[in-house]
Amino acid sequence: MLIPLIIDDIVSAVSEFAGDVVSLDPVLLQLTIFALLLGGVFALAALGLTMIFGVMDVVNFAHGMLIVAGMYTVYFVTTTVGINPLAALPIAVVALFALGVVISVTAIEPIIEAPEENQFIVTLGISFILLAAVQIFFTPDPRSIVMDLGRYQLFGAQIPKGQAYALAIAIVAMAALWVFLQRTELGTAIRATADNREGAWYVGIDVPNIDHITVGIGSALAGLAGAAIVIFSPFDPFIGESYLVKAFVIVVLGGLGSLPGAFVGGLIVGAIQVFGGFYLPGTTNEIVIFLLFVLLLYLKPTGLFGERRA
Amino acid sequence: MADSTSTETDVGGVLTRLDEHEYSAYIKAVLGFGLLAALPYLIEIEMAGLSLGSVLTLKILIVTLVFAFSSQAWNLISGFTGYFSFGHAAFFGIGAYATQKLAIDFGINPWFGMLVGGGVAVLLALLIGFLNFRYELKGHYFALATFAFAMLMGVVVRNTKELGGAIGYYRPFPRDYGAEYGLAAFQFQSDLPYYYVIFGFLVIVTAVAYALKESQLGLYLFAIRENEDAAASVGIPTFRYKMLAISLSAFFTAWAGAFWSMYFEIIRPETVFGLSKNVEVLLPAVVGGLGTIPGAIIGALFVFPLAEFFRANVDQIIGLDDVVYGVALVLIALVLPNGLISIRKRIREWRD
């Protein structure tokens, strides 16, 4: 009863979409722009999760709350010091890097050899503690420091500047991470650890140290994602859950541990959310996202980018 | 002489002597369940002007037992075979929605609805189990796949108008949909009967878990947990047993959802299928001791009353109950990886 209904929705949505494509409806350009803007930020939000998995084989359930911690760091700095949210970005990155290192040293490293479920439980526990901390310091009320930056015009389509800045931040961060991993000695050591932990030990890499740095960078990326999101979107302490779930979907789509995978996965999820949200009724687009997630887990658990390296 | 009598009469000594008894497990079960059965009355007793009731209410006890029950059910697959499910909210939610929908829109008795919900949950479990075991998902991937199914169920329900959509599904007073109060209708006007219903559920699932663990089948399940390849190589049909364990687990988890829908007035997709429900289901067994029979009950009695105590009594600071969940999880994983149940052994190790 339900499944034919959903198929019906999808068929009519696809035909409507095809109609718009044939008639070159300007709405397509607008939707594509929104999809790119959202997808880029989603990719950034998922990047740290996939990096930690790639290097350490740990699924970090605290990732969503780390994004929220980034949001509140910017909020705190902006409201107390009174500077522009954009200027608070580097502070969020540094603060979250430090938080990540603390988490790694105190909680993740002691159980890195333990069964997966213990890693699960520890990162889940950290996520609860962070949620509590944010609620205690900032109350559970929603907050907003959205900047009114206006919009660009492009062939009749609108580009909100806030989201455009967020996308630019995401692209710069991804490019910088790529260069860091490919061109620096530390980056090479991280890639070596991701490839072969034992081998890395043998050639003299301080693997625990690499782990701490990896969790630090992963957390800093989460913090940066949070900082980019607050430019254009209000937030509350509980928003982390939805970003965590999205990040899971994105990294599974792209391949757990794959950085280019996170980028492509982010664009896919952004596109489904924007196009699906426009053509499909209600929040049916989420059903499509999760169906894709489940299908891919079975058919190609290594994701679209079937490699497992950071 | 005086020394030996004092060590023999302290609690640890009694427990040690009990452990050696032939019927130790049964005696402990009777004592433990007897205590649980008396708990609603015990919280009302005042001692020196204080009572447990000032920190514990019957409502908290009911929620505690719901999660002790569902965690015991979760244990049947995840504790016994080591396949860590992070998606039992899918079964919980099915139980809740099936019972509620059948009772309110079709006038079907909730007890029957609960069994229908259990049946549907088993079908989903067979599907999830078939896919997960057929494609050999393990560890992170097994957890993520079960999680994905719970999320999928949640978004499907949220998009289904017949099930109340995102607003949720409201259960009016029984007389408004033609039902009576009483055990047969699964509807009570006070909390106490609800407590004994969920207590009864807990006794049933605990007995099933115990029987399973003591059986040949249980031995096979634990063999799968320790070393699946070795178990398969000596001819244990691991696929079939894993399917059985996940079905049984799903069947009982749906009961917890059914109870939830009959106890609370409203069920919402995000509350019965959400991430936090997945956590609440597995938390007691993990905190108490994975794969152990008393673990889920001890873990639930530890986590939920403590969290509720913080929520209720330190109300100027919102979020302290989450600290309890979080600290409990981190400490258990770091300090007591075998759960609270291993604390006696750990203390004994420290003393020696």
Residues B161-194: pLDDT tens digits? 888 888 888 887 777 776 778 887 788 888 899 9
B337 in contact with A, Cβ within 8 Å: yes
Mean pLDDT of chain A: 87
ipTM above 0.90, yes or no: no
pLDDT of residue B51: 67
CB contact under 8 A, A131 and B165: no
Q: How far out from the chain centre does Cα B16 lie?
A: 28
Q: In a mutagenesis test of the B interface, which of A113, A120, A253 is the best target, namely the one with the most B β-carbons within 10 Å?
A: A120
CB contact under 8 A, B139 and A116: yes
Residue of higher predicted confidence among A306 and B326: B326
d(CA A249, CA A255): 10
Residue B265, token pair as written in the block: 């007035």
Q: Taking CB atoms and an 8 Å cutoff, what residues of chain A touch B321?
A: 132
Closest Cβ–Cβ partner in B147, B158, B329 for A121: B329
Percent pLDDT > 90 in chain A is 41
- Three-state SS for chain B is CHHHHHHHHCHHHHHHHHHCCCCHHHHHHHHHHHHHHHHHHHCCCEECCEEHHHCCCHHHHHHHHHHHHHHHHHHHHHHHHCCCCCCCHHHHHHHHHHHHHHHHHHCCCHHHHHHHHHHHHHHHHHHHHHHHHHCCCCHHHHHHHHHHHHHHHHHHHHCCHHHCCCCCEECCCHHHHCCCCECCCCECCCHHHHHHHHHHHHHHHHHHHHHHHHCHHHHHHHHHHHCHHHHHHCCCCHHHHHHHHHHHHHHHHHHHHHHHHHHCCEECHHHHHCHHHHHHHHHHHHHHCCCCCCHHHHHHHHHHHHHHHHHHHCCCCCCHHHHHHHHHHHHHHHHCCCCHHHHHHHHHHHHC
> Is the confidence at residue A17, as pLDDT, over 90?
no
**Residues 272-301, chain B: which have Cβ within 8 Å of A?**
274-275, 279, 286, 290
pLDDT of residue A188: 92
CB contact under 8 A, A294 and B135: no
Question: b vs e for A49-87, b when ≥16 Cβ sit within 10 Å of the residue's Cβ?
Answer: bbbbbbbbbbbbbbbbbbbbbbbbbbbbbbeeeeeebbe
Distance from CA of B306 to the nearest CA of A (A): 15
pLDDT of residue A310: 38
Percent pLDDT > 70 in chain A is 96
Residues B117-160: pLDDT tens digits? 999 999 999 999 999 998 888 888 899 899 999 999 998 998 88
> Is the confidence at residue B317, as pLDDT, over 70?
no
Residue B18, token pair as written in the block: 């009990």
d(CA B118, CA B256): 10
Closest Cβ–Cβ partner in A59, A116, A284 for B159: A284
**Residues 157-186, chain B: which have Cβ within 8 Å of A?**
158-160, 165-166
Residue in the block written with tokens 């995978």: A261
d(CA B213, CA B176): 44
pLDDT of residue B112: 93
Number of neighbours of residue A297 by Cβ within 10 angstroms? 23
Residues B256-298: pLDDT tens digits? 999 999 999 889 998 899 888 998 999 899 889 888 999 999 9
Query: Residue A307: pLDDT band by 50, 70, 90 thresholds?
Result: low
Residues B38-97: pLDDT tens digits? 888 887 777 666 666 666 788 889 999 999 999 999 999 999 999 999 999 999 999 999
Identify the sign of the CA torsion B67, B70, B76, B79.
negative
A278, A31 contact by CB (below 8 A): yes
CB contact under 8 A, A283 and B158: yes
Q: In terms of CA atoms, which chain A residue is nearest residue B137?
A: A298
Residues A28-79: pLDDT tens digits? 888 998 999 999 999 999 999 999 998 998 889 999 999 999 999 999 999 8
pLDDT of residue B87: 92
B107 contacts: CB under 8 Å, gap ≥ 6: B177, B178, B179
Using DSSP's 3-state secondary structure scheme, residue A143 falls into strand
Residue of higher predicted confidence among B6 and A207: A207
Residues B103-118: pLDDT tens digits? 888 888 899 999 999 9
Mean pLDDT of chain B: 86
B319 in contact with A, Cβ within 8 Å: yes
> Is the confidence at residue B1, as pLDDT, over 50?
no
Q: Is A233 exposed, middle or buried (0-12, 13-18, 19+ CB in 10 A)?
A: middle
Nearest Cα to Cα of residue B202 among B136, B129, B298:
B298
> Is the confidence at residue B3, as pLDDT, over 70?
no
d(CA A2, CA A172): 44
Distance from CA of B135 to the nearest CA of A (A): 6
> Is the confidence at residue A234, as pLDDT, over 80?
yes
Residue B261, token pair as written in the block: 């829908």
Residue B330, token pair as written in the block: 């981190």
pLDDT of residue B48: 67
pLDDT of residue A187: 92
Q: How far apart are the first and last CA of chain B?
A: 21
pLDDT of residue A96: 96
CA distances from A286 to A302, B33, B276, B296 (A): 22, 44, 19, 33
Q: How far out from the chain centre does Cα A179 lie?
A: 19
> Is the confidence at residue B224, as pLDDT, over 80?
yes
**Residues 165-184, chain A: which have Cβ within 8 Å of B?**
none
B141 in contact with A, Cβ within 8 Å: yes
B317, A112 contact by CB (below 8 A): no
Using DSSP's 3-state secondary structure scheme, residue A278 falls into helix
Torsion, CA B125, CA B131, CA B134, CA B135, rounded to 10? -140
B247, B240 contact by CB (below 8 A): no
- Three-state SS for A231-271 is CCCCECHHHHHHHHHHHHHHHHHHCCCCHHHHHHHHHHHHH
CB contact under 8 A, B286 and A117: yes
CB contact under 8 A, A283 and B86: no
pLDDT of residue B54: 66
Query: Residue B316: pLDDT band by 50, 70, 90 thresholds?
Result: low
What residues does B182 pair with on adjacent strands? B187
Q: pTM of the entire structure?
A: 0.88
Residue in the block written with tokens 């069994």: B115
Residue A134, token pair as written in the block: 């944010």
A121 in contact with B, Cβ within 8 Å: yes
Using DSSP's 3-state secondary structure scheme, residue A82 falls into coil
pLDDT of residue B9: 56
Residue in the block written with tokens 């997966």: A116
d(CA A219, CA A302): 23
Q: Residues A250-268: what's their mean pLDDT? A: 89
B129, B247 contact by CB (below 8 A): yes
Closest Cβ–Cβ partner in B137, B165, B333 for A122: B333
CB contact under 8 A, B323 and A282: no
Query: Residue A305: pLDDT band by 50, 70, 90 thresholds?
Result: confident
> Is the confidence at residue B350, as pLDDT, over 90?
no
Residues A151-206: pLDDT tens digits? 887 777 788 888 888 899 999 999 999 999 999 999 999 999 988 888 888 988 88
A53, A251 contact by CB (below 8 A): yes
Residues B22-43: pLDDT tens digits? 777 788 888 888 888 888 888 7
d(CA B303, CA B327): 10
